[in-house]
Amino acid sequence: MTISPEQLDNIALEYKKKVKIYDKVVKICCGTGCISSGSLKLYDRFKDIINFEGLSAKVLVKITGCHGLCERGPIVVFGDDEILYQSVGKRNVDEDVKLLIETIKSNKIADKLLYKGDDKTKRYVSPLDIPFYAGQNRIVLSLNGTIDPEDIDEYIQRGGYRALYKALKMNTDEIIDWVQKSGLRGRGGGGFPTGAKWRSCKDAEGQPKYILANGDEGDPGAFMDRSLMEGNPHAVLEGMIIGGYAIGSNQGYIYVRDEYPLAVNRLLKAIEKAREYGFLGRNIFNSGFEFDITIFRGGGAFVCGESTALMSSIEGKAGEPRAKYVHTVEKGLWEKPSNLNNVETWACVPHIINNGWEWFASIGTQGSKGTKVFSLVGKVKNTGLIEVPMGKSLKEIIFDLGGGIQGDKKFKAVQTGGPSGGCIPAEYLEMPVDFDSLTKLGSMMGSGGMIVMDERNCMVDVARYFLTFLVEESCGKCTPCREGVRRMHEIVERICNGNGNKGDIEHLEELARAINLGSLCALGQSAPNPVLSTIKYFEDEYRAHIEDKKCPAGVCKALIKFSIIPEKCTGCTLCTHECPVKCITGEKKEAHTIDQAQCIRCGTCYDNCRFDAIKIE
């Protein structure tokens, strides 16, 4: 079927009419985060009660993708950001559903479900007033948490596939020109100028050409791409179709990691609908242009996020990277010109076409244009998904949007860029976040994971964590990466166990240089970064482990001992309940003691004690 722009208008109009008959629209977030907090159960129960009360003709209950504030899920939104309820049904589904019904029937706002400010007195009704949302500039995420990801009509009503129509009327060179002038850079980590990549691929010789979307979001601590694929899959498709037209390709692939079953599901449904409506297939918008998209599921290998490894994987081989003497835009998938972009990059494209490159280029900093989605996680109060203009400072992101550190502990560092990135200490909090500034600090933008650490996180342990990760995930092709990272891991492990030697730090630095020089792909080259950046900014912590055999943060189990300060212990028995090995004993209202022989040094008692009665030695 070939669709016309008039039909687009009709679909939008029909959808508007369909929704207009309802008095109220209630949206329940069903992103992965909210689902694990129980939103599907809430949805079912709520629908039942709506039917039971005979309200189904008046109230439209919708499922949406990730709304962002995962920490407070399940999130329920009334209308277009009129009321936001948080943690709905987390404790008691029936009770909270009753409150929702009351809001519907009598417009009574349920105080209990509102987002509360830090001082517990201020209540926020509209999400737009909550600092977490107010400080954002949502472009890529604008429809995430607003539309039903499985309803193509709603995407169209919100302006979807208009950019595709517009692009198909443009000259292909003009499209690439726009993308180039917009200053869009790859959102997956490298930050390579997208327009330049498209141009090289278009100019490359050979047919057919392939369009690829990288949804193999392997960086631990990052879930921007997952939320996008789950929450607004059509935006990714639309961007890819435009890219296909501009470059001269008729086939696209989306590579999604195995750990994201819901994303695969929603993309498949979206593709099916797009085919049915004629956005995919032959003669799209009567332009003569033909394009189709296939989903490819990964197999749980981190290295497949690397461009050449991803292509090997699609070819049905083990996902090992290849040398890039010849770029993938010239010889990529099946040795044909291939243009790979991250899913977030693709989702930016329709916005650039709709609003013009000047608009996109007016947002952000000198070298980094537009906005960037970050997953703000770790020891921050408001964990979740945020989108901010490039150039916002770390401090604004972590303290204004994120609400500061959990339990008002002291901020120690923020880790960006996944296993290829580094840790940035407190003295650089004022630094504006963009591609170039993070690289300057020895970290990198990466795909957008931002993991906040507090005083209770040991930086040597963090380095060990990433090395463990990389030992597991190194594909093994290049010896410096496969063996070198293993050796680095051994050394850091030794340091954490209290057996560090003088000269270990220098040895680590030497290995790091060798790995960087001798590895084929970017993953190997950047593997030492987590160690180098922690040594650079937290050398004293390494020295404390090596020279004094102490772990200042109280994490490295071989170096610490937990004990109870009798004068401070009130005998509240909280720790005895929380202790996983039940090694804390004592009478109620009397000082407790820890059985050192049984203690596994997990720190649960320390983290839960409300009276600072546990000390770490």
Partner 1 sequence: MEVDVKKLNTILNKYGGDKPYILAMFQDIQKEYRYLPKDALKYICDKLNIPFSKGYEVATFYKAISLNPRGKHTIHVCLGTACHLRGGPNILDAFERKLYVKKGNTTEDGNFTLESVNCLGACALAPLVRVDEKDFGKATPVTVNKIISEFKDGE
Task: List residues binding partner 1 (CB under 8 A).
Answer: 32-33, 35-37, 70-71, 73, 217-223, 226, 258-261, 296-302, 313-320, 375, 377-379, 383-385, 415, 418, 449, 451, 453, 457, 462, 465-466, 469, 472-473, 475, 578, 580-581, 600, 602-604, 607
Q: By C-beta, is 313 or 526 nearer to partner 1?
A: 313
Task: Check residue 393 and report its DSSP letter.
Answer: B
DSSP element (H, E) containing 42: helix 39-52
Find the angle CA(538)-CA(542)-CA(547) to the nearest 5 degrees. Answer: 140
Closer residue to partner 1 (CB): 143 or 264: 264
* Length of the chain (residues): 617
Quickly count: other Cβ atoms within 10 Å of residue 315's Cβ.
11
CB of 604 to partner 1, least distance (A): 7
Cα–Cα–Cα angle for 248, 345, 306, rounded to 5 degrees: 90
CB 113 within 8 A of CB 125: no
Nearer to partner 1, 339 or 375 (CB): 375
Q: In whole angstroms, what is the distance from residue 617 CA to residue 614 CA?
A: 10
The tokens for 292 are 């189709």
Q: Closer to partner 1 at the Cβ: 41 or 440?
A: 41
Q: To which residue do tokens 């009709």 refer?
A: 10
Alpha carbon distances (Å) from 183 to 162, 171, 178, 382: 22, 19, 9, 31
Strand partners, 424: 414
CB 59 within 8 A of CB 103: no
Could you tell me the smallest distance in angstroms from the CB atom of residue 317 to partner 1? Answer: 7
- Dihedral sign from CA coordinates of 150, 156, 158, 164: positive
Both tokens of 191, joined, read 């930050």
Handedness of CA 385, 390, 396, 399 (dihedral sign): positive
CA gap 386, 372 in Å, rounded:
8
Closest to partner 1 by CB, 182 or 383: 383
Q: Which pairing describes strands 562-564 and 614-616: parallel, antiparallel, or unpaired?
A: antiparallel
Cβ of residue 41: shortest distance to partner 1, in angstroms? Answer: 11
Question: Which residue number, 152 or 388, has a Cβ lying nearer to partner 1?
Answer: 388
Smallest gap, in angstroms, from Cβ of residue 78 to partner 1? 22
What is the distance between the alpha carbons of residues 397 and 109, in angstroms, rounded to a whole number? 30
What distance in Å separates the CA atoms of residue 460 and residue 472, rounded to the nearest whole number? 18
Q: In terms of DSSP bridges, do strands 251-256 and 292-297 run parallel, antiparallel, or are they unpaired?
A: parallel
The Cα 462–Cα 403 span in angstroms is 23
CA angle 39, 129, 80 (to 5 degrees): 55
> Closer CB to partner 1, residue 111 or residue 259?
259
Q: Using alpha carbons, list the distances in angstroms from residue 168 to 163, 242, 494.
A: 9, 8, 60
For residues 233 and 267, the answer to whether their CB atoms sit within 8 Å is: yes
Minimum Å gap between C-beta 276 and partner 1 is: 21
Q: Output the CA torsion sign for 471, 474, 475, 478.
A: negative
- Alpha-carbon separation of residue 58 from 82, 116, 568 (angstroms): 17, 29, 58
CB of 355 to partner 1, least distance (A): 29
Closest CB 134 distance from partner 1, rounded Å? 19
Shortest Cβ 250–partner 1 spacing (Å): 17
Minimum Å distance from CB 60 to partner 1?
A: 27
When the beta carbons of 143 and 579 are compared against partner 1, the nearer one is: 579
The token duo for 29 is 């977030």
Q: Give, for 114, the enclosing helix (H) or strand (E).
A: none
- The residue among 184 and 380 lying less far from partner 1, judged by its C-beta, is 380
- Measure the N-to-C terminal CA separation of the chain; round to a whole number of Å: 72
Min. distance of Cβ 456 from partner 1 in angstroms?
9
Of the pair 320, 434, the CB lying nearest partner 1 is at: 320
For residue 376, the minimal CB distance to partner 1 (Å) is: 8
CB of 320 to partner 1, least distance (A): 8
Enter the DSSP assignment of 439.
H
Shorter beta-carbon distance to partner 1: residue 153 or 225: 225
Least CB distance to partner 1 at residue 457 (A): 6
Q: Please name the helix (run of DSSP H) or strand (run of DSSP E) that holds residue 281, with its range, or none.
A: none
**In the complex, what is the shortest distance from the CB of residue 591 to partner 1, in angstroms, rounded to a whole number?**
23
Q: 36 or 171: whose CB is closer to partner 1?
A: 36
Smallest gap from Cβ 316 to partner 1, in A, equals 4
In the bound state with partner 1, the residue whose beta carbon lies nearer, of 445 and 451, is 451
CB contact set of 503 (below 8 Å; sequence gap of 6+): none
Q: Given the complex with partner 1, which of 320 and 344 has the nearer CB atom?
A: 320
Quick one: 222 or 535, whose CB is closer to partner 1?
Answer: 222
